[in-house]
Structure 1
Amino acid sequence: MEVQNKKWDMKKFSEMRQEVLNQWPTGKEVDFEEAVRYHQNLPKNQIMTNKLREAATKNNTLIQPRAGVALLDEHIELLKFLRQKGKADVLPTTIDSYTRQNRYEEAEKGIKESEKAGRSLLNGFPAVNYGVKKCRKVIESVDCPVQVRHGTPDARLLAEITLAGGFTDFEGGGISYNVPYAKKISIEQSIYYWQYVDRLVGIYEENGISLNREPFGPLTGTLVPPCISHSIGIIEGLLAAEQGVRNITLGYGQCGNLIQDVAAVETLKELSAEYLKDYDVMLTTAFHQWMGGFPQDEAQAFGVISWGAATAALSKATKVIVKTPHEAFGVPTKEANAEGLRATRQVINMLKDQRMISSQELEKEKEIIKRETRQILSKVYELGEGDWAKGAVRAFEAGVLDVPFAPSQFNAGKILPARDNSGAVRFLNFGSIPFDDKIKEFHRRKLAERAKAENREVSFQMVIDDIYAIGQGMLVGRMDSKIA
């Protein structure tokens, strides 16, 4: 099998659909024509594209948590709490790990064991097992749009059930929900699975139902250079648009340096518009607060959350995905989740009328990110002989696309990121990323400046120090400046 970036015809889609819907008994609940009618009757305030369009038009930043538990009533209670007490603008449904791996029998056991225990024993909501009608119960319990968030290389059945169930936004992509999450699934296979998901969304669109798709921007979440996440996000956006998706939110995970992060969100807007100009799509952005290690101290954790909120507001991201002060400990309480939302809301409200002052440093950072991203995408396009799907597969084989710290055996894993003296993420090791000499020299110079300031050599130890730095109260992992 060799994937192609070509819109699937209905014959191909329909043949696969029978197989997909037979993967678990709840697949029989999916009736596409009836699902279209259900979406047509949804209140406008429950449709994600409406909310995103309004926010983008007004330059507002929406706030959205992460949340999902095993029991239906508890999940509904959690979402209502985050909406009412956390003042979330839009809500998520985070899917459990068994469902993400298509292990529905084990998810079913998890539901039953959770019922016996009276509390969630799964790390998310098993939507496939609950089926269409119970998903609709979730949608009908709240007064805002709800997005499906997961981490599934093969999300075909999950998409069928949740979209028929009334969810109006589906996160993920064939690269971003494979490379950071799976070890043995090929890029080609997961892109093929996700072409099905995107075609499904495209068919809803053709029937007048506006749904949003959001590739997962942060990837592995720690020290991912903007050009890497930008390149993958744009490729996934192009693949989705080809299948008929008309509303796309591209994401970016906070690195921590304000100038670099604002430059990243601004260039993501500019580059996505440039590369998807041939498609009639609405493009918006999602900013993910810091996805790496958090301080155990709650006061320090709120500092990290607030810094992410400030960056999202100043970059004018369409929405910000909010963390909690319990990140260092695992699954947060609903109260802690709401606290993270309220802290973010406070900062967003204070900064919503302010803009990042343009500076030479900001413009320089934007230019670097754009040049890096264009050089990567140019090589991907060349490798694919004009086909973005083929190009993505071949680019991972060649190391042209390479995600730091990813578990996938189809990822080269040769690039190494480290912070420069101001905390911006640079390349310590370029692997096979196709940068020109000028860009490589820029990164080497930036890391050399830090090494000189710290009186040490540029080395892998910088990478290790930077991974743990925020959890220890700093941004840059300096040898002599750690706060317990």
Structure 2
Amino acid sequence: MTVDFGEFVRRAADQGHLVVQPRMGFGAPERMREGLAATKAAHAVTVGTLTLDSYTRVGDLDAAATALREGTDLNGYPVVTHPPATTAAVLDGVRGPDFPVQVRHGSATPIDIFWALMRLRLGATEGGPVSYCLPYGRTPLADGIRNWEACCELYTRMREVGVEPHLETFGGCMMGQLCPPSQLVAISFLEAMFFAQHGIRSLSLSYAQQTDPTQDQEAVAALRRLCRELLPTPDWHVVIYAYMGVYPETFGGAYRLLGQAARLAVTTGAERLIVKTAAEARRIPTIAENVLALEYASQTAAKATAPDGPDAPDGADSAVYQEARALVDAVLHVDQDIGRALRTAFQCGYLDVPYCVHPDNAGRARSYIDSDGRLRWSDIGSLPLAGIAERGPAKKIGSADLLNDLFYVRRKFDEPPQELGGAQEGELVHG
């Protein structure tokens, strides 16, 4: 059965719906099927998720097999290790034209994962040559780029069986936090260009909610504007991630932050939202907690005001757009081959992710949260942002400053603790 992920999201957006999606994965097939079925039955427009386990993510398939044999709980679904017939049974009767399923994994060496997806005709996944390499391990960036080139070209063969493959860039979520929005936008966009250069026509571009709503609006507008100006395919949409950093601990704080993410998606014309739950600060959420978050985000989105047109706001002349465009232009001028351009850009420091300790990251750029809550550069290193960077006075960022910034969002939403206008958990939906 052909399920076009990108077409499903576009159709929902045309009908005025924000598509909401959990980050859900369970090792046991029956539990994974239960989670998908519950997501599909939620009172929201949803897509399903198979989030893979950490053994599969790093290619330790022997450990995944041992865990399954011994009945050890895994933190995700081992799609490579389970027999294809087992996963086909998980999906049977759940996946369909009204409920596509995306695979999420986090691997810099994903060739086995892509083969597994193709056997199952799973036509949507995510990642990227930069975003699934730098934050998660020590795989050389050059190897990550080669791996993703091969996987993109392999994935295009899905068209031979009537499936249009869809890839989502993870570049808008680099490090989860404290990377200024302009660089998140630039990396997300450049990964989309990389995918397109290697034959992927259906794309989504990610952006993770950061520390200031106005700056986030500028960032999403900048991302959409770059796509309209430079992306060589019209088949794309934007996906917002609820905050990826240290999450609020209180129920009210968590849901106020999620509500803000839902409103960000609607007011910027983004088409899809990856939700987080009130359990994020403590443990892996249950199926019921995921469904509650999906329904709350959907209801919040339905009350928000959409932009006047599909491209509004356009991000014209915002500080985020100017920085992001400068970064993108610098990289694209390095080499016509975007993989080589990305590798050279990191070698030269044209891209440099603050606080990322990967050996291929220059590590000279630094950022901080200013008194208004905006993420700014404190040191641009060799980034091509001289004269245009949104930055404050030069300051040395110490460990105490970094720790304070890492917990900024939690403090902001948890202090003082409050519920959602007095609502209790059971009253958030259908109450």
Same fold (TM over 0.5): yes
Following superposition, the deviation at residue 310 of structure 1 comes to 1.4
- Tell me, in whole angstroms, the C-alpha distance in 2 between the residues paired with 1:274 and 1:459: 36
8 A Cα contact 2:221 2:314, kept in partner: no
- Tell me, in whole angstroms, the C-alpha distance in 2 between the residues paired with 1:366 and 1:218: 23
Residue 372 in 1 paired to residue 329 in 2?
Answer: no
What is residue 109 of structure 1 aligned with on the other side?
A: 66
Q: Secondary structure at the match of 1:130?
A: coil
- How do 1:303-382 and structure 2 match up within 5 A? 303-351=256-304, 353-355=305-307, 367-382=318-333
What is residue 22 of structure 2 aligned with on the other side?
A: 65
- Does the C-alpha gap of structure 1 residues 333 and 168 become closer, same or farther in structure 2, counting only changes over 3 Å? same
- Tell me, in whole angstroms, the C-alpha distance in 2 between the residues paired with 1:168 and 1:420: 42
What is the TM-score with the length of structure 1 in the denominator? 0.79
- How do 1:87-166 and structure 2 match up within 5 A? 87=44, 89-114=46-71, 121-143=73-95, 144-166=99-121
What is residue 214 of structure 1 aligned with on the other side?
A: 168
Following superposition, the deviation at residue 465 of structure 1 comes to 1.7
- Does the C-alpha gap of structure 1 residues 366 and 264 become closer, same or farther in structure 2, counting only changes over 3 Å? farther
The root-mean-square deviation of aligned C-alpha atoms, in Å, is 2.3
- Does the C-alpha gap of structure 1 residues 146 and 341 become closer, same or farther in structure 2, counting only changes over 3 Å? same
- Tell me, in whole angstroms, the C-alpha distance in 1 between the residues paired with 2:131 and 2:401: 26
- Does the C-alpha gap of structure 1 residues 377 and 187 become closer, same or farther in structure 2, counting only changes over 3 Å? same
8 A Cα contact 1:415 1:430, kept in partner: yes
What residue identity is the alignment partner of 1:473?
K
Following superposition, the deviation at residue 60 of structure 1 comes to 3.2
Q: Secondary structure at the match of 2:167?
A: strand
1:119-171 CA-partner distances (Å, limit 9, x unpaired): xx111000000143222223224141000101000111101111321322111
- Tell me, in whole angstroms, the C-alpha distance in 1 between the residues paired with 2:224 and 2:332: 20
What is residue 49 of structure 1 aligned with on the other side?
A: 6
What is the TM-score with the length of structure 2 in the denominator? 0.88
1:372-393 CA-partner distances (Å, limit 9, x unpaired): 1221122223333x33211110
1:408-453 CA-partner distances (Å, limit 9, x unpaired): 221122222222332121112212211122x23x422xx69xxxxx
Aligned match of 2:409 in 457, 460, 470? 470
- Tell me, in whole angstroms, the C-alpha distance in 1 between the residues paired with 2:315 and 2:121: 44
Q: Secondary structure at the match of 2:82?
A: helix
8 A Cα contact 1:52 1:318, kept in partner: yes
What is residue 225 of structure 2 aligned with on the other side?
A: 270
- How do 1:160-199 and structure 2 match up within 5 A? 160-183=115-138, 185-199=139-153
Of 388-397 and 461-470, deviating more is 461-470
What residue identity is the alignment partner of 2:256?
G
What is residue 391 of structure 2 aligned with on the other side?
A: 443
Residue 295 in 1 paired to residue 256 in 2?
Answer: no
Unaligned runs of 5+ in 1: 1-40, 449-456, 476-481
8 A Cα contact 2:121 2:163, kept in partner: no
What is residue 427 of structure 2 aligned with on the other side?
A: none
What is residue 425 of structure 2 aligned with on the other side?
A: none
Following superposition, the deviation at residue 363 of structure 1 comes to 7.4
Residue 80 in 1 paired to residue 44 in 2?
Answer: no
- Does the C-alpha gap of structure 1 residues 75 and 350 become closer, same or farther in structure 2, counting only changes over 3 Å? same
8 A Cα contact 1:248 1:282, kept in partner: yes
- Does the C-alpha gap of structure 1 residues 227 and 473 become closer, same or farther in structure 2, counting only changes over 3 Å? closer
Q: Secondary structure at the match of 1:250?
A: strand
Equivalent residue pairs, number? 409
What is residue 13 of structure 1 aligned with on the other side?
A: none
Following superposition, the deviation at residue 299 of structure 1 comes to 2.0
- Tell me, in whole angstroms, the C-alpha distance in 1 between the residues paired with 2:125 and 2:397: 40
Following superposition, the deviation at residue 72 of structure 1 comes to 0.7
- Does the C-alpha gap of structure 1 residues 94 and 86 become closer, same or farther in structure 2, counting only changes over 3 Å? farther
What residue identity is the alignment partner of 2:131?
S
1:95-127 CA-partner distances (Å, limit 9, x unpaired): 00000011001001111233xx6xxx1110000
Q: Secondary structure at the match of 1:127?
A: coil
8 A Cα contact 2:65 2:81, kept in partner: yes
Q: Secondary structure at the match of 1:129?
A: coil
Unaligned runs of 5+ in 2: 418-431
More helix by share: 1
- How do 1:226-237 and structure 2 match up within 5 A? 226-237=181-192
- Tell me, in whole angstroms, the C-alpha distance in 1 between the residues paired with 2:320 and 2:160: 35
Following superposition, the deviation at residue 356 of structure 1 comes to 8.0
8 A Cα contact 1:131 1:161, kept in partner: no
8 A Cα contact 1:314 1:354, kept in partner: yes
What is residue 224 of structure 1 aligned with on the other side?
A: 179
- Tell me, in whole angstroms, the C-alpha distance in 1 between the residues paired with 2:213 and 2:308: 10
Higher radius of gyration, 1 or 2: 1
What is residue 421 of structure 2 aligned with on the other side?
A: none
What is residue 32 of structure 1 aligned with on the other side?
A: none
- Does the C-alpha gap of structure 1 residues 434 and 95 become closer, same or farther in structure 2, counting only changes over 3 Å? same
- Tell me, in whole angstroms, the C-alpha distance in 2 between the residues paired with 1:205 and 1:225: 37
1:27-52 CA-partner distances (Å, limit 9, x unpaired): xxxxxxxxxxxxxx33xxx4312212
What residue identity is the alignment partner of 1:469?
Y
- Does the C-alpha gap of structure 1 residues 47 and 395 become closer, same or farther in structure 2, counting only changes over 3 Å? same
Q: Secondary structure at the match of 1:179?
A: coil
